[in-house]
Amino acid sequence: MNKLIFRKFSFDIINFFLISSLSITFIIWIIQAVNFLDLVSDDGHSLNVYFYYVSLNLPKIFSKIIVFVFFISIFYVINKYNNSNELIVFWNNGIKKIHFINFILKISIFFLILQLTLNLFIVPKSQELARIFIKESNIDFLPKLISEKKFINVVKNLTIFVEEYEKNGLLKQIYINEKIDTVKSKIIVAESGKIIRKSNEYFLRLYNGGITNLNKGNTFTLNFSETDYDLSNFSTKTVTHPKMQELETNFIFNCFKDFFFNNYQIKKRLVEDSNVEVCEGRRLKSISEEFYKRIVLPFYTLIISLIAASLIIEPKSKYFLKFHKLNIFLFGCLIIILSQINLKFFLSSVSLVYIVLLMPILMVIIYYILLLIITKFKLNFL
């Protein structure tokens, strides 16, 4: 009988969590998707690239809201059971309050593992895939971005200006400025031209113009009647360098360890099959914050579950009984806010780092002992 009661209780929590988390995730995702429209309007990517890129942000959004939504789920379900007197079924079947709290703690461990899995593996991989996809994608929306009397610079080191863009696709009075390096550049001027596509790559076919090469003040000009200018050699202006959130967790851990256990000396580590330095040049603050977000922050799931479970323990004072639910809710929200504020104090000193790392576990132990004493001796809050 007890198993059936707990099964229904856990089903209600998970059901409410899934509905709430998915709803909130998609709302945030839609808002972010609107903000990412500049991938098309400014950076020249296609709609397929855009939708694939924004879809890879779903795991990141979901992982960020787990702690709060889980707290709301437990709080809502316990409050619902209490209002409908369903909690009496637990006590009438011999279930002690501490056993009820232990069951909620077990559920929170499942959600802790879920968030750790997302933070340590799924989210970094999805963010990395998004960056790689943007980096390797063609700028296949470029023709629609070119407009009359407007400088177009959606790709690095390249600026295009067109005086007139006719409906048949013919471009007139074309100016192209290509920056080769710090001292070399190329200027191309043509009377007319059009954009053509060969093997999924874009070319600009130019007619009647000249190419001027600039090198440390020296110039060399070459005239042409027709030439093809390859646009596929240029990359998007979208950031393609790996960010901290895209790096694998083992690299984050190694960088963090190098900072704090090797006299703050940064060792050079390379991502497999690439020459991208992941520790060199990284700031201690960014590495520590990413370490905290991935590994430490999920453990606050345990303490907020215990706080929500405190709803079953009524205070002795009539004054506090009136505001019992509100106090529990605000206290849980305060802990969640505290978990975020800790990021700001993470690097104040070496001693504070260890305190911040151990804080969620210490809070769980202290709060659980408090609940154990209250339930064992049948005490009341206040």
Task: Indicate the SS3 state at residue 323.
Answer: coil
162 and 119 assigned to the same domain: no
Q: Is residue 310 part of a domain?
A: yes
Domain span including residue 166: 142-230
For 50-90, write each residue's pLDDT tens digit.
Answer: 888 889 999 999 999 999 999 999 999 999 998 899 999 99
What is the identity of the amino acid at 282? R
pLDDT-based confidence at residue 154 (cuts at 50, 70, 90): low
Which of 171, 204, 230 terminates a domain? The answer is 230
pTM for the model: 0.76
For 291-304, write each residue's pLDDT tens digit.
Answer: 889 999 999 999 99
What is the pLDDT, as a whole number, of residue 307? Answer: 96
Max Cα separation, the chain? 96
Q: Is residue 101 part of a domain?
A: yes
Query: What is the DSSP secondary structure assignment for residue 293, as one 8-state letter?
Result: I
What is the pLDDT, as a whole number, of residue 235? Answer: 56
107 and 25 assigned to the same domain: yes
Of 206, 192, 188, 203, nearest in space to 163 by CA = 192
265 and 315 assigned to the same domain: yes
What average pLDDT score do residues 215-241 get? 75
Of the listed ranges 105-114, 191-200, 215-224, 371-380, the least confidently predicted one is 371-380
pLDDT-based confidence at residue 274 (cuts at 50, 70, 90): very low
What is the pLDDT, as a whole number, of residue 265? Answer: 45
pLDDT-based confidence at residue 309 (cuts at 50, 70, 90): very high
217 and 324 assigned to the same domain: no
Which of 184, 204, 230 terminates a domain? The answer is 230
What average pLDDT score do residues 120-135 get? 85
132 and 215 assigned to the same domain: no
Q: CB under 8 Å to 137, separation ≥6 — which residues?
A: 45, 46, 49, 236
343 and 371 assigned to the same domain: yes
Residues 320-343 as b or e (16 or more Cβ within 10 Å = b): eeeebeeebbeebeebbeebeebb
What is the pLDDT, as a whole number, of residue 275? Answer: 37
What average pLDDT score do residues 247-271 get? 65
296 and 91 in contact (C-beta within 8 Å)? no
What is the identity of the amino acid at 330? L
225 and 258 assigned to the same domain: no
